[in-house]
Structure 1
Amino acid sequence: MAPTPSTRQVDRIVNSQPSQDGDGVRIQRIHDFGGGLDPFLMLDELGSDRPDDYIGGFPPHPHRGIQTLTYVIHGGLTHEDHMGHSSTIRAGDAQWMHTGRGIIHSEMPLTDQQGLHAFQLWLNLAARDKLSPATYRDVRGAEMPTLSGQDASLVALGGRWQDTAGESVTGPLEALAGQGAVAHARLAAGGELRLAAEASTLLVYVFKGSLEIAGTPVTQGRLARLGSGERLALTSREGAEALLLGGEPHGEPIAHYGPFVMNAHEELEQALRDYRDGTLTG
């Protein structure tokens, strides 16, 4: 008889913290540059109906050594970069940026009747990819497939997601660092979502309501890192929305300074010199 698949339990819970970035944009942030969320580095939640909290946006700034994934719930963001890309994403859309050797970009906010609500994830690039060419891509909400549960649904932004009955979907972003997978889960009151979940790193960030992971409650503004196992069981009494993040750790040294993430302090110094000299982007 085959063994019963194990359900993943909550290993630890991390609270998001208020912070600011860009031109005074107020955010809720979770970050770990010590490898505790590998291959993920940071999750920023931008959410406010007060324009003063975000209207300054993120003027032109550089990056090297990471990927970013920005996902909009309400409002929108306009992206421009040194490669000539200029585009706007709105509710349900995402933009993915592989910074590689270097990119200089800006992100300026747009609002709708509910203000602005968006997320930005940072994923660490493996050492072999940190000086690779920069690339950029928009993804529209209509391109993202949906997986249904019991009074619940999952929208796949990237990676492959499968329920315990064997039905699966693959998000349009297939080149996320660390075999990354990202999804938006919605659970109505009494909803249930049961997934196959074999990624080494599995994270759940609740941004609306509260849910239970294998019986452990996780409330709004908190991220749960899960232990090992083969199944993920999400339920909610009152209804909830969450980001699900999966991936494989690089297990490499992480050196971080501002918008640059490399493997050694000397590489950070080189990035700073390249930016000052105007050679960051190649």
Structure 2
Amino acid sequence: MLSSFDWVRRSRTGAELLATLEYLKTRPDIFAAGQDIGPPQSALDGPCQRCRVYARLPKQNYCQACQSILTRAGRLGKRSYSAIVVWGFVNRLPRQLWAGEGFYENHTWGDYVLDEHHFLLMMHRRELKPWLQELAIYHGSDLTGVLQVFPTSGVKFEGAMGDILCRAAHQETRFAMDRLHLRFFSASHQLLHPHTRDHKGLLTFEISDFLSLLEAAAVFRTLMRPEEQESLYELVSLEDPREEQFYWGRFMGALSQETRDMLSAWRVRQWPKNRIKLLYELIDYVGFYQTN
């Protein structure tokens, strides 16, 4: 009765979504049609407390599929914490995704193809940059549509993982198939109120522009120590220009020459505060440059 996408949308947390995607590939038998439908809800009995459709296992609160997902999800919490979700609506699916080759062979934690235009990916957040680079190399301007990127969520009153996925699918219709857009959400609950982030210029990008931002974040993270990053954010957040001017000279004097050159070349002091906020959000999505 429940389709594979119904099971995906039943996910309440990122860990449950990871477990569902894994079992849809490795244990599809637990989702097979023919399971007994659960009895109507009553004081003494009822259907599975998670899917609300199938019969519970003996002396359990869940059906076979839900019990398996929850057991597996209990071991995936740490992975879920560093995972991101990509919901894609494109003119055609990437060739490598269909075949499970290239990036999709070893660098994703889960994938699901709904139809010839929709797909779902889960990966470590620092794999986002190499994945986008592969898309640009193999597809260029041939791939159009919208990619929505957001982190996983836990169990919440508003914004469980399945609800977030449904909201992403609903919002995709706002974009024409003229180019490939990317919508970046630094927190999953932001999909419930996307206009707030959109008005600040923090939401929608072209792929080339977003890759440039990720590149800048990687340079920034490599050259500045964590305590320097924190001090800089506090400094540029000051409201009094005279106070900022006073502390700026001291701050720059404590940095290495390479770091001072970077900040001067970027003219960070002239950046809008929202652009600085985005840079700091992207730090967690990139690794360090390897220098010899």
TM-score of the aligned structures, taking structure 2 as reference length: 0.24
Q: Higher RCO, 1 or 2 (CA under 8 Å, sep at least 6)?
A: 1
Q: How does the TM-score come out when normalised to structure 1?
A: 0.25
Instruction: Report which of the two has the higher share of strand.
Output: 1
More helix by share: 2
